[in-house]
Structure 1
């Protein structure tokens, strides 16, 4: 098993435990073909798509077996899973820490910090949980 396969296996295992099935790439691809093509243009050559967090053509985050890829604020962002660095939740100004946990939508990651959008709540923290596994010592 190569590194990419190992990463995909680990991501799928953790995502299943976190009940992220509704964000699976295959479901999105089947239901939203044109938007999926746009995402794939940005993510080309960046691994096998596994999960997508989608708001619109301009706001989304894709987790592949090698990269975290996203579009937010008119910018495309890409971070290698082996170079995530510190992963954090962007805090909302003027929102208490308890409320911030419910309303958080942006993850920061990468050696050169990049922003990635997620839906509020469980999906946000589930993606953070998946990303916390990296880098993984692949066999």
Structure 2
């Protein structure tokens, strides 16, 4: 059941959290449901939240040591991470979006998770082991070059 007792104190609580950027932060999405929060407060909350997330991810970024080319790109490269690149309700929605993207502007890379990879054929080609209409649509909607994961410590 919803507890509406002390509901009026929620805004004061949220503002107290915002006043201390180094303290415990409130997730920005949660703040959206608080009546009376200004756009500036929402932005401050988002910036504080992301600052903490980036700081928490720094050790992993340094450990993974990703290197990116400085060569200019002619297209925006988009990667889609999902375990639903198969006959699944989410895939039926996603594949239409991928098909609608302008290939002259975007280069698409599907990045299947380990759960999805377990459903793939045993010889590592990356193709689904069961041919399906959805899988075929994913194959034709992706960019031509196959995704090849680089050496990762995950």
Q: Which has the higher strand share?
A: 1
With the shorter chain as reference, the TM-score category is under 0.3
TM-score, normalization by structure 1: 0.23
Q: Normalised by the size of structure 2, how large is the TM-score?
A: 0.22
Relative contact order higher in (CA < 8 Å, ≥ 6 apart):
1
